[in-house]
Amino acid sequence: MKSILEVKNLSFGYEKNKKVLNDVNLSIEDGSITAILGKNGCGKSTLLDCIIGYNEYDEGQVIVDNADIKGFSPKELSRKIAYISQNTTINLDYTVLEFILFGRTCHLAFGSAPKEKDYKIAKENAEKLGITHLLSKDINKISGGERQLAFIARALTQESKIIIMDEPTASLDYGNQLRLFEIIKELKEKGKTIVFTTHNPEHVKLLGCNVAIINDGEIIKKGAASKIITKEFLVEIYGEIVKRY
Q: Does 78 bind other proteins (CB under 8 A)?
A: yes
Q: Does 111 bind other proteins (CB under 8 A)?
A: yes
Torsion sign over Cα 190, 81, 220, 184: negative
Torsion sign over Cα 121, 186, 90, 56: negative
With respect to other proteins, which residue has the nearer C-beta, 119 or 233? 119
Among 11, 22, 95, 200, binds other proteins (CB under 8 A): 95
3-state helix, strand, coil in the chain (%, to 5): 40, 25, 30
Largest distance between two CA atoms of the chain: 60
With respect to other proteins, which residue has the nearer C-beta, 160 or 198? 160
Q: Does 128 bind other proteins (CB under 8 A)?
A: no
Among 38, 43, 114, 168, binds other proteins (CB under 8 A): 114
Q: Does 49 bind other proteins (CB under 8 A)?
A: yes
Side chain identity at 56, as an amino acid letter?
E
Q: Does 238 bind other proteins (CB under 8 A)?
A: no
What is the nearest approach in angstroms of other proteins to the Cβ of residue 63? 18
Q: Does 170 bind other proteins (CB under 8 A)?
A: no
Task: Determine the interface stretch with other proteins among 35-43, 82-90, 184-192, 222-230 (rule: CB under 8 A).
Answer: 82-90
Q: Does 93 bind other proteins (CB under 8 A)?
A: yes
With respect to other proteins, which residue has the nearer C-beta, 125 or 177? 125
Cα–Cα dist 163/149, whole Å = 13
Task: Determine the interface stretch with other proteins among 4-12, 36-44, 109-117, 194-202 (rule: CB under 8 A).
Answer: 109-117
Side chain identity at 130, as an amino acid letter?
G
Tell me the pairing of strands 81-84 and 162-165. parallel
Tell me the pairing of strands 59-64 and 67-68. antiparallel
Give the CA distances from residue 34 to residues 10, 151, 170, 224, in Å, rounded to whole numbers and listed in that order: 18, 19, 17, 9
3-class DSSP state of 207: helix
Q: Does 67 bind other proteins (CB under 8 A)?
A: no
Q: Which of residues 1-40 bind other proteins (CB under 8 A)?
A: none
3-class DSSP state of 52: coil
Give, for 4, the enclosing helix (H) or strand (E).
strand 3-12
What is the nearest approach in angstroms of other proteins to the Cβ of residue 239? 33
Query: Which chain residues interact with other proteins by CB under 8 A?
Result: 49, 52-54, 73-79, 81-83, 85, 88-95, 97-98, 102-103, 105-106, 108, 110-116, 119-120, 123-124, 135, 140, 158
